[in-house]
Structures are given as structure tokens and as C-alpha cells.
Structure 1
């Protein structure tokens, strides 16, 4: 694979790839970045725009990625080393699976979005990033033995099915029911799921269902591994959405679908906690990819302004143009610095501590990333002018990025919900820490 050098256009690369010092990246990270960029350019990025226009990524691409273990990076770090080695997966482009950390994950997600388009990458990654992690963390050993060998190697595909027509960010309002059969051997599942990325290609899904009564609230939710493709009672159809044409967004209907009770993930009624924990990883990887999309849009606008003439001089010679680029650039680089900080913190925190301390901040980062993409995409569209309003030609990337903005600000918890969630989580941390300080002070006064 040929080496793909960093792009010299301002704002087009993270600072550490522009030769600036960074405290975060080791030689392992830098070597992986080079190998990752070369692999992704050859197998995805160089074809991404063409495939997005066509609305489909060829099936062989998924198999190529799996053959090179290049969907494993979508799993939360640290990786499930025992499982991977059992399956003969010892390294990812030279990085030993036991050495993989969240900075490697960040590099992968950043490079995956380097076309500026989320759809081509999302067409393959949703199962590994969102569907498999609950099985790894909460599934019984028996459940893992039945599903993980096929899913981790790509012989079978999965996805995550949480959202419903009437229950998006309001997860506690899920109405899809799972009622045990009279003999207790099956859950009978009925309901609908909507906007499910990759659903149309998935053999299974990690699905949120209501095992409690209709008024059971969050405590009535559970997670099941539900069969999809060609399974009796399951009907699926693709949905057309504004952006991410290749992402396989799917509407799923479930009519008396029989699911073995052994497909329950973890404990019945604990689904809400599992879902919320899973969201932390989802929001993080989305934040990284979205920030790279913003980078692509702003860099394209910057390059265009260096060559486009108006009113007798280059656009870049107009103070108002430079001002617009500067405002968007400040938002972009601030966002990336925050993401690097979170990635580094995840490398040095235990999982439980990270969930507690960074869950709210990760939600906030995901919300902010969407705002930054909107700022950079809008900047690109306005500076490209008519070209940025045209679906073909030199401004095509700006037009496509603008259509992808809602797809970053709504899924994984809509923006307003995440902003509120972040503050509520910070309040909880404050209250816990305050009580601990009070206990220490009281104990100290009694000595």
C-alpha cells in the first residue's frame, strides 16, 4: 500500500500530523496512523464519493476490512484480547491487540472520515461499534460463545436497534415488547424500530425491548440479540435520509418474532443501564469522525479561497473571508484539542471511573462536535457560493457536508438532550464529591 502524505492545506490535518509536538502520540500511534491511512485510502476513501453518489458500498469492501481485522478498531478499548486471540486476530496493521488503546481508536475514526462523508464508513462499522459491545460487556459466556466468533470475524453482521418512531432520544419510552411464551422458551417480540444504521444487511441486532409492563418505565427495558435477515416475522426496508446515503438506514417491523430466552443480554430489566453505558463509546467515536468531517469541509473552503477570484482579487485577500475562516477554524481546533484530551484520559482511567467521570463530558463533546460541523459546513457552503449549493462539481463536498449536519446532531441522543444530560451528570458528580468531602471533614474533626 502506498503511503499517503499529510495534506498541506491549512486546517486539513490535526496538529500532530502537521509536524507540531504532541504529548499524546507514541511511535505505535504514529506508525499505525501511516498504515491506517494507506489502507483506508486504497480500500475506501479514494472511492467514497463515488459510492456515496451511487448510494451503496460494494459488499466486497466489508469482507476486505474484516479480512484485515480493520473493523475491530470500532470496539471499545481495551480490546477483548482473549476473544481476538482465540479467533487468530493478534494485531491490527502491526499494533498488537493487547497494546491497543483509545488513541489508536481515535486515529482510526479520524482517518475513516477523511473523505468528509460519514456514510461509506458507517456502512460497515455500526455493528462493531454499537451492536457487539453490549454482548462483550454484559452477555453471558454462553451467549458470547454462540455469537462472537461469527460477528468478530465478519461471517455474520449485526447492528444496534434502540430508536423507534415514537422513541428516539427518549429511550425510556420504548414500546417494542418482548413477552415470554407460555413454555418460557422464547420471547415473542412485537414492535417497530426506525433509523437503524446497517439494519438492512444485519443477520442479528442488539435490540432494546420492553420486558416489563407498559408502565414499567426504564426498569422494564432489556437487551436481546434478535435475528433479522430472513427470520420469520421480521420485515425490513431501507429509508432515504438527507445524508449518509450509503449507511443502510433501515425501518424494522417485528410481528410475533420468536427469540430464544438465551438471547437475553445480561439481566432482564437492566437494559436501560446497559444502553446508557454503550452510548458513551458511540458518542465518542461519532465525535471524532464528525470533527474530521468539519476539518474536510473547512480545508476545502480554504483551498478554494486561495484560487477563486472575485471583485478583482482572490477571495483569500478579502478580510471578511479570512474572518469567516478564522472563526470556523478556532471552533475546529478547539474541538479537536478537547477530543484528544478525552482520548488520553480514557487511556489512563479504569472503565468504571471513565464512565462516571467522562460520560457527561462525552455527551457534551458529541453535541459540540455537531455544532462545529455546522459552523464549518456552513462556512464552506457560503464561501463556495453557487458551487456550494450544487450537488456536483468542485463544491460538491460542501453541499454534501451541509446535508450531513442533521445526521450528526440528532442520532446518539439529540443535541438538546445531550446538553441537558451533560449538566445533570456533572451535578451528580458534584453532589457525590461534596458528600465525600463532608465525611472527611467530619471524620477529621473527630480525631
Structure 2
């Protein structure tokens, strides 16, 4: 039965207003409550202030690490074996790591984004969420043993380092090189990486490098030491939004990295990068959808109380029309996200990478489009307050500035939309080809 407690329209996903949903089991509902309590206590209250100061204090990361709330950002299912090795068997006392599925992941990402901002949560989780999976999926047992214990426990930090000044969404054309020394024991890494989230705080990077010739086939991935390491220079970049997430420019000058830090095998880097993008893009979509919800709910609450021309703004048809259009986009997007995540829980990882890879790019792109609409509507309805960096419209103004940070990173919007359709067409052609009768066969 729907809850009798009233909620501001669009402020919560339907399942949290008491409406029925086929996706959530008792374990998910317990997890949502525990997540909300923990994040409200340790992040939500100070998020806007920390984002204004452009840095989330180190103790917040440590608090999340000690509670096991870093590993919740990893792709589900979680690495149960390794988590058991380091003593993490459950999170917040309500969910075992062995039962954690992608619906739990979705709830976690949604709750982390209730700040309305991508920076505070991103400062804590982006590195482990996207930097650890290549090691987990493709690293040798010895590579995993060297790095995973400290990373999973939050004793060390990592980032994902793909993008370069001249190669963003065009991953196949990155130019950072990793050349073997004459004795074959080390790589010398040279180049630059740009817009690397969490880089400034990271001890390591899962880094895309060129070990071979031009194009995708020449790419590999290495675990490259960063903070305080010889030949590495890092500086923070001033960006328009997500300012507390530690966006970093990295210069690499003859950085000596042992060949044992190679992730997987040489020449397979493009495959590793592209499959890793699926988790990144989906979690971006989940968080951005909640950001859109925060903005639109704030605007709805505002127009219920703000008066102009002798009546509340919500009594103006044009105001209701704006909210209705944005709300329809928002709830459609959330329904797609829920459906998508449910499919992730039912498909084997290899199948999901193929069948949902293109759609992941599209759901990520659509999340930016929806966020843009909801944030813009919120700013317009707040009027001058929504254009002011303080006061009651401060959060809405900040969210609106963060819109490009969703539409560009993780694969820019136009590239993602094109990639999605190309992947769907590719899958169709492969399946069609498989149904064709072999040449010369007489079989019907």
C-alpha cells in the first residue's frame, strides 16, 4: 500500500513513496534504509559546504573505508573471495557481500547522489569504482595480491587514467607510451593524462598506455604509481562543476614501472577499457538521474510556497507545464534505469557486455539530457534565487553548473548516442549472420 506520509512530488523514486515495484526485495529495502542513514550522517549534511571549499576532508574517505562503504561502488557481483581475504563479509550489518547485486549498487549510487552534487560522492568513490575493476577482471593473481588488499580496505587510493589532452572519447588514439627497457624488466611511461578524477590523491592509476603501434590494437593497461613517485607531476584542474572530486592533470616523464604491473596482456587494453566503461556509464546515469530529481523536487517545493501576482507560483499553468514536462522525462529515465539494472542482475557478465553495452552508452547520454532539462527548469522557476551562488537557490545553481560534467565525461553525449546505435546494429547483423544457411548447404 502507498505510504500515508506525503512527499514532495518527484522527490523520491516511486518505490520509496510506497508504490509497488517488482525490482526490490527485502534485502534491498534494508540496504536502502541503512545507506540513507549512513550517508546522511557522514556526507549529506556538509556536502554543499565541502564542495564550496573544493575538497572533502580525508576523514570522510576513512570513515567510508572502515564501514566497507567503498566496496559498494564496485560492479556487482562483488569480489567475494578478495573481500573475505581482507575481512569484509558484509556492509553496514544489513547485506552480505555474497548477496550484493546490481540493485544494491543502484540504491547506493542513488543515495550517494542525494546531495544533488557529483563532487562530494565522486571524491570518495570514483577511484575505487573505476580503477580497481581492471585489476579484478584482468590482473594476474600476483598483481591482485600486491594491490587489492590495500585498495579494498582504503589504505591506498587509485584512479582510472584514460583521457588525454588530445584524446577524450577517442580512446583508440591516446599517445601516452610505455616502452620496455633493454633488459625487458620495466616500462618507461611518457605522456600526459587530463581530467583524471581523484588523481591528485591517488597512490596508483589503472592507466591506458600505448605499448604497440597506432590504433586500438596498440593499447595496454598498467598499474602506474603516482603520488610522490619519480617522474610523476600532478596538479589539480579548475573545472566548472564537481569541483571537490579532485580533477587532475598528470605529467609522466620516464616513469619506471615494472613489467609485472601490466594488467592482463599487451595489446588488449582497448577491450579492458571498453568493458570497464559500462560500469562507469551506468553509475553516472544513476547518479545524474538522482541529481535531476533533487533539482526538480527543490523547484516543486519552492513554487508551492513562493507567491507572485497574489498567488503561489504553482497556481500558474505555465509553471505546472514546465514541471510536468521535466517530471515526465525524469520518471521515464528512472524507469529505464531500474529496468536496465534488473537486466544486469539476470544476465551473465559476458552477455550483458554485448547486449547492454550500446544501451549503457545511451542511458548515460539520456541521463545528461534529462538532468539538463530538470536543472534548467529548476533554475528558471527559482528565478533570481536560482542564479545566485548563495541562499535558497544555491544548490540548484550548483547543480545547473554540473550538467556539462555529466554530458561530457565518461564519453561525450553525441559520441555515446552514436555508439549506442552502432552497437545495436552490430548485434543485429551478427545475429542475422548466424541465422543464415551455410553456403552450399541443402538444409532448409
Asked whether 1:141 is paired with 2:141, we answer yes
Quote the offset at 1:311 in angstroms.
Answer: 1.3
Report the counterpart of residue 297 of structure 1 in structure 2: 295
Report the counterpart of residue 231 of structure 1 in structure 2: 229
Report the counterpart of residue 382 of structure 1 in structure 2: 380
Paired with 1:58 and 1:401, the residues of 2 have a C-alpha distance of: 21
Cα gap change, 1:442 to 1:326, in 2 (>3 Å): farther
Where structure 2 has 5 or more consecutive residues not aligned to the other structure, the ranges are none
Paired with 2:382 and 2:318, the residues of 1 have a C-alpha distance of: 14
| 3-state SS in 1 of match to 2:330 | helix
Report the counterpart of residue 261 of structure 1 in structure 2: 259
307, 310, 323: which one pairs with 1:309? 307
Asked whether 1:446 is paired with 2:410, we answer no
Report the counterpart of residue 325 of structure 1 in structure 2: 323
Report the counterpart of residue 272 of structure 1 in structure 2: 270
Report the counterpart of residue 97 of structure 2 in structure 1: 97
Paired with 1:441 and 1:369, the residues of 2 have a C-alpha distance of: 45
Cα gap change, 1:7 to 1:163, in 2 (>3 Å): farther
Asked whether 1:39 is paired with 2:38, we answer yes
**1:215-238, CA deviations, whole angstroms, 9 ceiling, x for partnerless residues?**
x21100000000000000000000
373, 395, 415: which one pairs with 2:393? 395
Quote the offset at 1:438 in angstroms.
Answer: 2.5
| 3-state SS in 1 of match to 2:158 | coil
- What pairs up with 1:39-438 in 2 under 5 angstroms? 39-93=38-92, 94-213=94-213, 216-438=214-436
| 3-state SS in 1 of match to 2:20 | coil
Quote the offset at 1:204 in angstroms.
Answer: 0.2
Quote the offset at 1:7 in angstroms.
Answer: 7.8
Paired with 2:170 and 2:429, the residues of 1 have a C-alpha distance of: 25
Quote the offset at 1:79 in angstroms.
Answer: 0.5
Instruction: Say if 2:172 and 2:270, in contact at 8 Å, map to a contact too.
Output: yes
Paired with 2:297 and 2:151, the residues of 1 have a C-alpha distance of: 37
Instruction: Say if 1:45 and 1:114, in contact at 8 Å, map to a contact too.
Output: yes
| 3-state SS in 1 of match to 2:149 | helix
Instruction: Say if 2:437 and 2:443, in contact at 8 Å, map to a contact too.
Output: no
Paired with 1:255 and 1:73, the residues of 2 have a C-alpha distance of: 35
Instruction: Say if 1:6 and 1:17, in contact at 8 Å, map to a contact too.
Output: no
Instruction: Say if 1:224 and 1:265, in contact at 8 Å, map to a contact too.
Output: yes
Asked whether 1:20 is paired with 2:6, we answer no
Q: Which runs of 4+ in 1 moved over 2 A?
A: 436-443
**Range with greater deviation from structure 2 (84-93 or 366-375):** 84-93
Paired with 1:360 and 1:7, the residues of 2 have a C-alpha distance of: 38
Paired with 2:354 and 2:189, the residues of 1 have a C-alpha distance of: 33
Paired with 2:5 and 2:63, the residues of 1 have a C-alpha distance of: 24
Paired with 2:145 and 2:302, the residues of 1 have a C-alpha distance of: 53
Quote the offset at 1:6 in angstroms.
Answer: 8.5
Quote the offset at 1:442 in angstroms.
Answer: 10
RMSD of Structure 2 on Structure 1 (CA): 1.4
Cα gap change, 1:440 to 1:385, in 2 (>3 Å): farther
Paired with 1:67 and 1:7, the residues of 2 have a C-alpha distance of: 35
Quote the offset at 1:446 in angstroms.
Answer: 2.1
Paired with 2:86 and 2:269, the residues of 1 have a C-alpha distance of: 28
**1:253-280, CA deviations, whole angstroms, 9 ceiling, x for partnerless residues?**
0001000000000010100010000000
Where structure 1 has 5 or more consecutive residues not aligned to the other structure, the ranges are none
Quote the offset at 1:434 in angstroms.
Answer: 1.0
Paired with 2:129 and 2:289, the residues of 1 have a C-alpha distance of: 18
Quote the offset at 1:100 in angstroms.
Answer: 0.5
| 3-state SS in 1 of match to 2:31 | helix
| 3-state SS in 2 of match to 1:159 | strand
Cα gap change, 1:129 to 1:64, in 2 (>3 Å): same
Paired with 1:356 and 1:50, the residues of 2 have a C-alpha distance of: 41
Quote the offset at 1:439 in angstroms.
Answer: 3.9
| 3-state SS in 1 of match to 2:115 | coil
| 3-state SS in 1 of match to 2:28 | helix
| 3-state SS in 1 of match to 2:114 | coil
Quote the offset at 1:127 in angstroms.
Answer: 1.6
**1:327-355, CA deviations, whole angstroms, 9 ceiling, x for partnerless residues?**
00000000000000010000000000000
Paired with 1:180 and 1:6, the residues of 2 have a C-alpha distance of: 64
Instruction: Say if 1:6 and 1:13, in contact at 8 Å, map to a contact too.
Output: no
